[in-house]
Amino acid sequence: MMTPRGAVAVVICSALAVGCRSATAPGTVLVTLDQSRYIAGNVVTGSITNTSSHLITYNLCQRDLDRRVSSGWTTVIVVPPEGAACNTEGFILSPGGRAQFTFAIPTDLAVGTYRIRFLELLGGVSTPSFAVGR
C-alpha cells in the first residue's frame, strides 16, 4: 500500500479480536496532516482514514502533544487538562470513512518537532511528526 507523504499507516486489531497481534490485524488506519510545518499560534488540521474492512470505534478527545527530545518523546500538553474530562462517547468510523481533527498550537510553544497522540484511538495512534517554528 502506498502512503501519501506526511502520512502514517498504523496496524490495527479488530475490536472483536482478543489478544490479537499486528500480524493478524485486519487493516490499517491512515493519519495525515495538512502541513508538515506550523507556526506557534496556528491550528493543525488532519484526518484519520479507516483503510481496513472493519468498523473502528474511536474518540479523539483524549490526546497528548509530544515534543521530540534526544531520548525519544516527552509529553508537553495533555488534553483534557487536569481537572477536566472528555466526553466518553464512542464514534464509529466505517471502512473507507474519514474523521477530521484540529489542534490549536499555543502561541508560546517552543520551537521543535512535535506529534499529536490520540490515546483513545486503537490503543494510541500518533500523527506524523511536524515542525513548529516562530
Contact 66, 119 (CB under 8 A): no
| Structure confidence by residue, pLDDT tens digits, 11-57 | 333 333 333 222 223 357 888 999 999 999 999 999 999 988 888 88
**Selecting from 2.60.40.1930, 3.40.1410.10, 2.60.40.10, 3.20.20.70, what CATH number does the domain 7-133 have?**
2.60.40.1930
Q: How many CB atoms lie within 10 A of CB 5?
A: 7
Residue bearing cell 483524549:
62
Quick one: pLDDT at residue 30? 86
CA distances (Å), origin 85, targets 42, 91, 94, 96 = 24, 17, 26, 30
Q: What confidence category does residue 114 fall into, taking pLDDT thresholds of 50, 70 and 90? A: very high
Note if the pTM is more than 0.85: no
pLDDT at 98: 94
